[in-house]
Each structure stands twice: as structure tokens, then as C-alpha cells.
Amino acid sequence: MKTLSNLLELSENFTDAFDEANDRFREWNNEKFDFVLENLEILKNTLSSNKFFESNLYIDNDKASKSHIRLRSGKTIIPRSENDDEWFDINFLQISNGKIYCYFLLNTTSGSNKKNIEIEVIDNLDELDREKIIDIVYKGLENYKKYSYLFI
């Protein structure tokens, strides 16, 4: 049988989780949001040197709430095909516990090839450095290659 001491010990888990979530929100809002945004701009500019992505990559963000940043493509028209890739997103979304949910989203003209794929959930925001951002974008582009009508 559990004791009052066990109950109090268990309740500390909630305090710890609450404090960790608040720390993640504070770190994201004070530093990491802008850091991710700056690095995605660099990656967008670097990828735009590739003829395929030239003038077809964008950065969208919710600057007011600092909850969401995405690297987004424009429409990709597939020659001699009824199907087009409308766009893809590589997203960095702060979720309700302060963690950063990174995912890939592909939307197609027909809707039949729509994909929403988790790349990673980042618990420790100290891990969100330039190399991690490059890795997440790389995994997103791997998913685009895997599911795009261009490669099917």
C-alpha cells in the first residue's frame, strides 16, 4: 500500500515537469526561436542556389506568438502529369509542454499523396544547434524525395 510520503514524492514529478515546460517556453521565446529562424534563412538561401529550389523556398513564422516556424516550398509542377506537389513544409512547432515538434508535411494537388511525418520531438532545447537544424531539414528533404510525385 502507498503512503502519504509516496504520494508527495509522486506529486514532485508534476512540479518538475511544469518547471521544465516553463524553462523550455522561456528558452524558445528568448533565444531559440530567433536562432532557428536565422539558421533556416541561411539554409533557404543556400538551397536556393540549387536550380530546382531557386525562388521556390520560403520561411513562414508566427512572429507574434513565436510558436511555429517552417521552411516551405512553392508548387512543383510535374511535367506530363496530372499530379503536382502543391508544397512541402519542414516545421518547427512548439507544443503545449514547450517541446519542439519537428515534422514534414507534403500536400499534393490530388490530395492522395498527402503526408504528415514526424521528424523529431526536441525535449532539451540546448540540443537545438545549427547541426540539429541541418539534420532536421535534411530528413525533411529525404521525405520529400521519398514521397514527391517527381520521384514516384
Exposure string for 53-80, b = 16+ CB within 10 A, e = fewer: beebbebebeeeebbbbbbbbeebebee
Q: What is the pLDDT of residue 131?
A: 98
* Res 86 pLDDT > 90: no
Q: What is the pLDDT of residue 112?
A: 60
* Res 95 pLDDT > 90: yes
Residue 41 — pLDDT band, cuts 50, 70, 90? very high
* Res 17 pLDDT > 70: yes
Instruction: Quick: pLDDT tens for 109-141.
Output: 666 667 889 999 999 999 999 999 999 999 999
> Distance of alpha carbon 53 from its chain centroid, rounded?
19
Contact 119, 105 (CB under 8 A): no
Percent of the chain at pLDDT > 90 equals 69
> Rounded CA gap, 77 and 82, in Å?
9
Average pLDDT for the chain: 89
Lowest-confidence pick of 80-89, 127-136, 140-149: 80-89
Order of strands across the sheet with 85-94?
A: 57-61, 68-73, 85-94, 100-108, 115-122
What is the chain's Cα-based Rg? 19
Q: Which residue has the cell 538561401?
A: 45
Residue 77 — pLDDT band, cuts 50, 70, 90? low
* Res 103 pLDDT > 90: yes
Q: What is the pLDDT of residue 111?
A: 61
- Per the model's pLDDT, the better-predicted residue between 146 and 119 turns out to be 119
Q: What is the pLDDT of residue 63?
A: 85
